[in-house]
Amino acid sequence: MNETADTAILLFAHDAAHETKYKSFCSGHAVARNKEVAEVLLQHTFSVVKQSKLPLVTVLTAQQSGRTFGERLANAFQDAFEAGYQRVICIGSDCPALSAADLRTAGESLQQHDMVIGPAADGGAYLIGMHISCFDPEAFAMLNWQTGKVLDELTLYSFRQHSTLGCFALLAPKADIDSAEDFTRVLQRLPFRLRIKLLIIYKGHFLRFPLLRNLLLKPLELYLSKLLLRAPPF
């Protein structure tokens, strides 16, 4: 019997067009180029979830309801629980370092704990996993969201729900992307194929930036050099 059969991934994110209204991934570049980056990150997230083999509940901009971020997130969790899942793991599209293995680890942690959190480097969270018994929609919606206090707020929320430290588990920290500075900083840790997609977006622009040139071109050059050493057909 599959122990994670009652566990779903909740992708709570903006579509690419709306994401660029709140974040600028490429400082000084056109809106269209930022939208391309947002779309690549979103599609990469879909791919990671597919690799995890966990069912997916998608709540993008058009499906979100509520006046505040907290209300919209709480409503998304509520919808996932009402769909029949007992454990829900919520992610966004702004943490490209997140892997399918991380999602499976979160699912396994929720078999032993009521909440599992992936802490972000800025004090927020790149992943929030919760058992239905730990979900209080009103209290959850009222947390101090979109601040550097989110991790502390979630820890306190978990303790208040069950009054035991054992109900809460932490994953390894990861960096999410909220700005052009974040984007540049995490590029070197991105999966190879994702870096190549971003290389295509940056063509004609990134050659002016030595850091980006090194981060994106060197892996491509290495791959091509190995490919050219092989005898045809490739």
Intervals of the chain under pLDDT 50 = 1, 204-208, 224-225, 227-234
Write down the CATH number for the domain with range 7-170.
3.90.550.10
- Which tens digit of pLDDT belongs to each residue from 76-132? 999 999 999 999 999 999 999 999 999 999 999 999 999 999 999 888 999 999 999
Q: What is the reported pLDDT for 232? A: 46
CB 117 within 8 Å of CB 169: yes
Closest C-alpha among 111, 107, 114 to residue 91: 107
Question: What gap in Å lies between CA 8 and CA 131, rounded to an integer?
Answer: 11
- C-beta neighbour count of 171 within 10 angstroms: 19
Q: What is the reported pLDDT for 142? A: 96
Question: Taking the model in full, what pTM does it have?
Answer: 0.82
Q: What is the reported pLDDT for 121? A: 86
Assigned token pair, 44: 């990469």
Question: What gap in Å lies between CA 175 and CA 162, rounded to an integer?
Answer: 29
Sketch the domain layout of the chain as residue ranges: 7-170, 180-229
Query: What are the angstrom distances between the C-alpha of 114 and each of 38, 151, 166, 176, 223?
Result: 32, 16, 9, 24, 44
Look up residue 23 and give its amino acid: K
Largest Cα span, the chain? 65
Q: What is the reported pLDDT for 227? A: 46
Q: What is the reported pLDDT for 163? A: 55
